[in-house]
Amino acid sequence: MISYSDIENSHKQFYNSCLLSNYAIACNYFTKIPVLNFFVDYFEEFDYDFSDPITYFDNPRVNNFLITAFGVHFFSNFNAFIKDYASYKAKNISIADLLSRYGPIFHTHFIMKSYKGMTLPNEVLKSDITGYSLILKLHDNIDKPAFLKSRNTCNIHFLGEKNKIISSKNSTLFASNNISELYMYLTINPALINIFDTKIQHSLTIYCEEGTKQFILRDTNVPNHKFYLPYDWIGQFQNGEILLFENKSNMP
């Protein structure tokens, strides 16, 4: 169970940054690292890409994908972003200002970026590459402070889709392929989950509240709001993937 007062409830996501935002909120519960620190570390990790846009755009397939997904204005916006990114590095503007002005740029870079053993956009355009797969790659590989502390503090179990929730290739956390085990686990352990709702294409954080034993939804589009869920809440989601977060020190 999780104390509501210990959940970060004030962060509102920038554009479509729900994946990194909810990962950061889950990690924040165990590490107390501010959510924006994860975005700062992300930008610093990929500093070269933002400093050298010519290299970033030299793949025609990337160009075509960006034009299709975001329109012809993307490139002029990216050039403006490069100038403001320089201002951010010089500490003349904040990370929040940068993200609020250029949310779509960040979101596209997050999706498209080649990262340690993954050749994008070729792989990201395959149907079996998912947002949570990318999140786990960041979690496992970035050595900046927020990610490094989260990796040393948190265990993350990738549980797959809800109707395949405990397949052997994803996790051995539970003994059987039974969704009721996840309910029970969240009820008696200090753990929480990110779940991706495929119906609305949005990542959410869910946990069982200490004291009331009710399930609470944290939506990064609606900060400072407490959404109570019915016991059968998972039935309202489509076949979205699930990440379960817990503290390594609580593991046997």
Which DSSP string do the residues of 108-173 spell out, in sequence order?
HHHHH--BTTB-TTTTTTSTT--HHHHHHHHHHH--SHHHHHHHHHEEEEEEEEGGGTT-TTT--S
* pLDDT category of residue 163 using cuts at 50, 70 and 90: very low
For residue 108, pLDDT beyond 50: yes
CA atoms within 13 A on the CB side of 110: 28
Both structure tokens of 131 = 């947002």
- The predicted pLDDT at position 92 comes to 94
Which residue has tokens 């960040």? 106
Q: So where are the chain's domains?
A: 4-46+113-250
**Considering the entire predicted model, what is its pTM?**
0.86
Which residue has tokens 């990929």? 46
For residue 97, pLDDT beyond 90: yes
Instruction: Name the range with the highest mean pLDDT among 54-68, 77-91, 151-165, 225-239.
Output: 77-91
Classified by CATH at the fold level, domain 4-46+113-250 comes out as Cathepsin B; Chain A (3.90.70)
Residue 198: partners with Cβ closer than 8 Å, 6 or more residues away: 237, 238, 239, 240
* pLDDT category of residue 121 using cuts at 50, 70 and 90: very low
Indicate the average pLDDT of the chain: 80
